[in-house]
Structure 1
């Protein structure tokens, strides 16, 4: 089977997406892809989500922070951004999603918008609510363990 001529091939745009959650969250590429497809389908309908064609091309998530590269059709970037804004949790874990930028190639997307290494993470004890608690520190954020979950704050709050 022959390849399509260059002028007939689909054109793509790549969205650099920043991801942030609690430090103990475990999110995989497949989980994020599934919830992105569901969000696009719920917002745009079957035909609209097929036109946008959101595909997670690259994914990295650990210690509550990470990034993804999402491939979408050219001309559908605004609708893809709207679908990404509808993703607020993955596998019951709350997730903050932020589009850092849009590019025409994966390489340019990673070089311009996905900066490595990310903010270093350390675990230490902090004074919070009249008690000493374990906390995960990603400067300037401090996520203090309270009961079964975390409570977010800044270094000035502790």
Structure 2
């Protein structure tokens, strides 16, 4: 399951992504987004690769700890399918031999008292903010927008957002 999947001759890296809601959810719906340290003005949700032998849920908690300094979250829902996207040219070279990512999305809520710390062992983000639903796409990098829209629309239709 954790092996790269091929589709149309392309290789997709297995990956998890977290749509992180603030601890104020459900009273207030605010989304965590962060700006990458390696790509200027590239805002996104936390995400990362699934290691060999790791379940998507295990990878989710490990990646959150590595990227935002906490795994203190409650999983609210999981997107029912894997979604894939191709890397833009500027990122594809860095991610060789993969042509894109195959992702499992989770909707999570920070537990009360969870502390976000971007100063991790290998910082992936330089800054973060919480935004309402209507502001997400003012920030998110262009090539992630179609997938984010699809996943967020699903969670809205299911009544989570």
After TM superposition, the score normalised by the length of structure 2 is 0.31
More helix by share: 1
More strand by share: 1
Give 1 or 2 for the bigger CA radius of gyration: 1
After TM superposition, the score normalised by the length of structure 1 is 0.31
Q: Considering Cα pairs closer than 8 Å and 6+ residues apart, tell me whether 1 or 2 has the greater RCO.
A: 2
